[in-house]
Amino acid sequence: MEKRLADRVAIVTGATSGIGEAIALRFAREGARVALAGRREELGEKNRRRIADEGGEAVFIRTDVTRGEDVKALVDAVLTRYGRVDVLVNNAGVLGNIPFEEATVEDWRRLVDTDALGGIYAMWEVLPIMREQKSGNVINVTSIDATLSTPHEPLYCFIKAGMEHLTRCLAKQYAAYGIRLNNLAPGLVATDLARDNPAMFRKLEEGIPLGRAGTPREIADIAAWLASDEASFVTGATIEANGGCVR
């Protein structure tokens, strides 16, 4: 059976664990050549070896997405190695369960630098390449918190909502160049990051109509579809995977 992402070059940020790891592995199984970007070299190399052991092709490039120079070096390295960029998945992110009145400027900057500027740096570097190619695909991993307006994490909700709207704006701007941009908005997913607060995780899971959190693999399945030609008429969309947590 033909692989859906055969011969495409994909960059996945935050690819050392969780959702990013699952997306990178799935893309490689679909035939993509994958650049895994992240800060934790040991985990990144482990995932690269796993892809190689499965017969795929990948490279790990240590990247701190809060540093524009790191992101530029990442994209330059991918271009040098593969000559093009077909898919960008902006997945790197941090959580921010901080009440509004307790949040400091440093708290805001930490979330903005990773969850907003990290993706913006990558799009600044990649969109001109895709425009020259007249093809490309950007998937911004956001969150259902962009629209659920949860009171315990207003900073996170604010930033994810802004990223979703930026994606819609850019989807209109770049459609003429054959470039698609979409949001992938998970609900609660069983990652190490989400389980960092076990009591909060259990409480949130109890409120999911399907009765459980999602898995990274389930989110990766959607990302693979969005990156493929099967979603060729989908741009400017937000695809939610939330287990039934509708508004």
- CA 119 to each of CA 3, 29, 32, 81: distance values in angstroms, whole numbers, following the listed order: 27, 24, 21, 22
Report percent pLDDT > 70 for the chain: 99
23-80 pLDDT, tens digit each = 999 999 999 999 999 999 999 999 999 999 999 999 999 999 999 999 999 999 999 9
- Structure confidence at residue 172 (pLDDT): 98
The answer to whether residue 4 sits within a structural domain is no
The answer to whether residue 3 sits within a structural domain is no
Number of compact structural domains in the chain: 1
What is the mean pLDDT of the segment spanning 139-164?
A: 90
The answer to whether residue 1 sits within a structural domain is no
The answer to whether residue 31 sits within a structural domain is yes
Six token digits for residue 100 = 């509004």
The answer to whether residue 199 sits within a structural domain is yes
The answer to whether residue 219 sits within a structural domain is yes
The answer to whether residue 2 sits within a structural domain is no
Catalytic residue, candidates 121, 156, 174, 177: 156
Phi, psi dihedrals of residue 36, rounded to the nearest 5°: -90, 120
161-216 pLDDT, tens digit each = 999 999 999 999 999 999 999 999 999 898 887 777 788 788 888 888 898 999 99
Q: What is the Cα Rg of the chain in Å?
A: 17
- Structure confidence at residue 194 (pLDDT): 75
Determine the structural domain holding residue 83 and report its residue range: 9-241
The domain spanning residue 136 has which CATH number?
3.40.50.720
The answer to whether residue 202 sits within a structural domain is yes
Q: Is 174 a catalytic residue?
A: no
Phi, psi dihedrals of residue 136, rounded to the nearest 5°: 160, 170
